């Protein structure tokens, strides 16, 4: 059963009730309270054109264990090219993620999504990890939402070779220091090449529940 969320309804049904595609509910909006509650319950929004706002909790769930990130010799050499910073240009990162994805294959990062995640950033829930080249230019990065010691990745971009992977590498080291994981949501070939694996939704929800009582990554 797919649930309809009312405007003033900030509670979600049990994520285990999602359909075979992971779709749990539709409706509502990107209110900050609703977004935070969604992430605390392993649920995320995924806007689709011509549809009301959709909310997903997929099974299986793609995750990246920090010590499983694939690091080649050539990539290790690339790491030296970039300076990594955190939370210095969140708006620029999400804007570049949206524009680059849109030019290639379309994007779910709508203006409403950008505004909502910028608000989460202002409140300390969303974060960006950024790669800068030796000229001080922002050339890669990623953003996502932190829940305890889990980083829920949303999107990444790269303007130079391995720039986004350099940001991911830096994130993985930070997450590893907190004994956490990186939530990748839904598996694809790129995530698999980086070392992501699928786990059951039940396992993910248990990890998430345990994480909420642990010290935050940032």
User: 38 and 129 share a domain?
Assistant: no
**Residue 202's domain is classified under what CATH number?**
3.40.630.70
User: 15 and 122 share a domain?
Assistant: no
The label of the residue with tokens 């090219």 reads: 81
User: 41 and 140 share a domain?
Assistant: no
Looking at the 3D structure of the chain, how many domains does it have?
2
Which strands form 61-64's sheet, in the order they lie side by side? 83-86, 126-132, 138-147, 150-158, 181-185, 61-64, 197-199
User: 38 and 74 share a domain?
Assistant: no
Answer whether 57's CB lies under 8 Å from 202's CB: no
Please enumerate in sequence order all residues whose Cβ is within 8 A of that of 20, keeping only pairs 6 or more positions apart, or say none: none
How high is the pLDDT of residue 106? 64
With a cut of 50, which residues of the chain have pLDDT below it?
none
User: 93 and 20 share a domain?
Assistant: no
**Residue 52's domain is classified under what CATH number?**
3.30.70.3550
Q: Is residue 216 part of a domain?
A: no
What confidence tens digit (pLDDT) does each residue in 133-152 have? Answer: 999 999 999 999 999 999 99
What confidence tens digit (pLDDT) does each residue in 148-179 have? Answer: 999 999 999 999 999 999 999 999 999 999 99
Answer whether 167's CB lies under 8 Å from 121's CB: no
User: 127 and 161 share a domain?
Assistant: yes
């Amino acid at each position: 059963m797919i649930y309809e969320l009312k405007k003033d309804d900030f509670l979600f049904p049990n994520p285990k009730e999602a359909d075979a595609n992971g779709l749990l509910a539709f409706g509502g909006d990107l209110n900050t309270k609703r977004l935070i509650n969604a992430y605390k319950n392993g649920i995320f929004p995924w806007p689709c054109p011509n549809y009301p706002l959709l909310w997903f909790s997929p099974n299986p769930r793609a995750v990246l264990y920090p010590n499983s990130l694939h690091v080649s010799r050539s990539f290790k050499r690339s790491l030296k090219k970039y300076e990594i910073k955190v939370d210095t240009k969140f708006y620029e990162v999400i804007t570049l993620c949206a524009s680059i994805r849109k030019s290639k294959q379309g994007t779910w990062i709508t203006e409403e999504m950008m505004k909502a995640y910028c608000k989460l950033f202002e409140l300390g829930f969303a974060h960006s990890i950024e790669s800068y080249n030796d000229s001080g230019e922002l050339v890669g990065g990623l953003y996502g939402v932190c829940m305890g010691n889990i980083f829920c990745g949303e999107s990444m971009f790269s303007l130079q070779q391995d720039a986004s992977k350099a940001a991911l590498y830096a994130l993985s080291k930070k997450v590893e220091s907190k004994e956490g994981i990186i939530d990748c949501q839904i598996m694809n070939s790129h995530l698999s090449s980086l070392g992501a694996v699928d786990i059951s939704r039940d396992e993910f929800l248990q990890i998430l529940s345990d994480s909420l009582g642990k010290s935050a990554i940032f």
